[in-house]
Every structure is written in C-alpha cells, then in structure tokens.
Structure 1
C-alpha cells in the first residue's frame, strides 16, 4: 500500500472509530487492525496519536464544511440559504450513528490537555461562525445578529446528540425563521 492510500485508510478508520467510541477509548493497535496499515507505517505517517487525531479533525472539517456549503448553495435566495443550514443539520442528525459534533466531542475529551485538538476545534467553530455570518448578512440581517443564528445551530447540534432525535434542527430552524422576520421568539 503506497503512502497516500495508507494515510487515507488510517484516517478513515481512525475517524470512524474515534467518532463511534471516543478518542481515548481507541488505541493505535485498533486503528492498525481496522485500516490494514502496519503499526510502523501508522507511526511513520502520524508520529503520535495526537497527530492522528489532529489530522482526522482537519479532514473532517473539510468534508463537513464542503457538505454544508454544497447543500446551502443549492438554494436560490439568501433567506433560503440561511435556513438551509438547519435543514442540512436535520439531515445530518438523522443519519445512523450520529453522535454529535466531532469537534465538540474531541474538545471535551482532550481540549484541556492537547493544544492541537483544541486549536482544530476552535478553528472549525470559527469557520462555521464566519460562514453563518456571511449568510446572515447576505439575508439582509445585521452582522451583530449572526451570533444568535450560530447559537441556534450549535445548540441544536448538542441537543440532538444528547436527545437522540433530529427535532432540535427543526426547532432551531423555526426560531431562525422568526429571527429573520424580526419577530420576537414565542
């Protein structure tokens, strides 16, 4: 197996195992077995488990944000694009094996002890906030109101993970629609 394929196999296996079971619960030997990449090659590619976790989160960030942008960009008006964020969240929450946000989970497990994990999690959340802010401004709302839309989305992510239902996305989307109209929350 060449280096590129070994790297991809290791990242795919690690991301799946970390997301399903938690970072600290998964050992490098389990990643070796799931990926088919020898332990020696695994440590050549990722000198530490921390480096592997960081690479997994960085790869997930790219996929997650691209998936969201593709979904949102399929809508025709700025208002529809902003509300599409919550539709996309509902689809994500409805997927089998949904266990919440990998960045929040990773930060919760290692953020206090691993600066690289904390940094990737913060960068992901900042990029999401910037993206939503752009959508909010494009929809004709003041930039200062973007924080409310981000909090609705982030709250929906956490609540859906804990409750095991995708409904928080619909509830947050309804609240976002009210915010867009300038109506007070009911």
Structure 2
C-alpha cells in the first residue's frame, strides 16, 4: 500500500484502532522487542501520551493485538460450525483449509503466535498466557469435533491433526517444505480416514 492511500485509511480509524493497526504491522514485520512505543505512536499518527491512554503498557498492547489474532481463529471455527452444523468432519477439513489458505502470509511474515512465544520466554507474561489458553481451547474444540465424528480415540486424532496444523505453519515460515498447504490438506484427510477406519474395524 502506498503512503498516501495508507494515510487516507489510517485517518478514518479511531485512535485505538489506529494504534492496534500500527502495532500489528510493526510487530509482524520487526518483532515485539525491536519495536518501541514511540515507533508505534508515530506509525499510528498519534502521540505516546495518547497511546498510553488506551494501553497502560506496551505489554497490554501486545496482549490485545494477540487477542485479536486469536479471535480470527475462533471466528473461523464458528463460521465452519454454522456452515456445517451436522458435519464435524467438514468442520475439521474446513479448519485445515483455513490454515492452508493463510500459509502464504505466514511464509512472509511468520505466525504471530510462534514469533511472540519466541520473544516472550516468561510463561507468566499475559500475552504468553493468552496464547497458551487459545491453543488449548483450539485443541479442545478439535477433540470435540473428532468425538462428534465418532472417531474411537478423539484425543489421539486431535493431537495428530494439531501436530499437522502447527507443523505446517512452522514449515511455511522456515521454508523447509514445498507445497505445504496441499500436503497439509492430504495429511489431515488421511488422519481422519485412518481413524474412521479404526471405528469400522471389528
């Protein structure tokens, strides 16, 4: 986006949203620790004082940014549940497709959760706790879908699917595997097929 068009878009946002928009851009591009409050305020075309009126600390801003990222994943789950209310398998495959479709962006900018955990070694950090709670909730939701699909060991199936989803994002970020999205879809389908076959076995 060129500078003029970005300025036009930013000018239309309320101050809090401008700050979050700037933080998202800078944290994704440069990392949490490398970006100072002044840089965020300048990018948001506001002042440090105004930023602190909305976010008491930089840590609070990081936490809110990651809360928004997590909400996007939760919304994807919710939309799939609405679209396929009686088809848990379709919901799982749809989630894999959602992840696969987002891999090109991750390959350029990295996964916000992976990047943030690397920069937040203290597990007591509010943003770190938010990430862990989000990921645990995602696993519980996948496990519930596997159970609804009638898979005999939903915990194991959910673990395998989670490994595939998380591994695909890491592989896209480090560039180690080609055609990551296509392979992710095949792996998730294969996991579901294998566990479904176990259900049918005598």
TM-score where L is the length of structure 1: 0.84
Q: Equivalent residue for 2:102?
A: 92
Tell me if structure 1 keeps the 8 A contact 2:88–2:148. Answer: yes
Is 147-156 or 58-67 further displaced after alignment?
A: 58-67
Deviation at 1:125, TM superposition (A): 0.9
Q: Equivalent residue for 1:147?
A: 159
Q: Equivalent residue for 2:172?
A: 160
SS of equivalent to 1:182? helix
Superposed, 1:88-127 pairs within 5 Å as: 88-95=98-105, 98-112=108-122, 115-127=125-137
Root-mean-square deviation over aligned CA pairs:
2.5
CA displacement 1:13-72 (0-9 Å, x = unmatched) = 101210122111111111111112221011122121111111111122112321354256
Q: Equivalent residue for 1:11?
A: 20
Tell me if structure 2 keeps the 8 A contact 1:94–1:165. Answer: no
Aligned length: 181
**CA–CA distance in structure 2, aligned partners of residues 60 and 109 of structure 1:** 17
Q: Match for 1:63 among 69, 72, 79?
A: 72
| Uncovered stretches (5+) of structure 2, i.e. residues with no partner | 1-12, 198-202
**CA–CA distance in structure 2, aligned partners of residues 100 and 71 of structure 1:** 24
- Aligned CA distance change for structure 1 residues 166 and 60 (closer, same or farther; 3 Å): farther
Is 45-54 or 98-107 further displaced after alignment?
A: 98-107
Write out the 4+ residue segments of structure 1 that deviate beyond 6 Å after TM superposition. Answer: none
Matched, 1:33 2:42: yes
TM-score where L is the length of structure 2: 0.78
Q: Equivalent residue for 2:4?
A: none
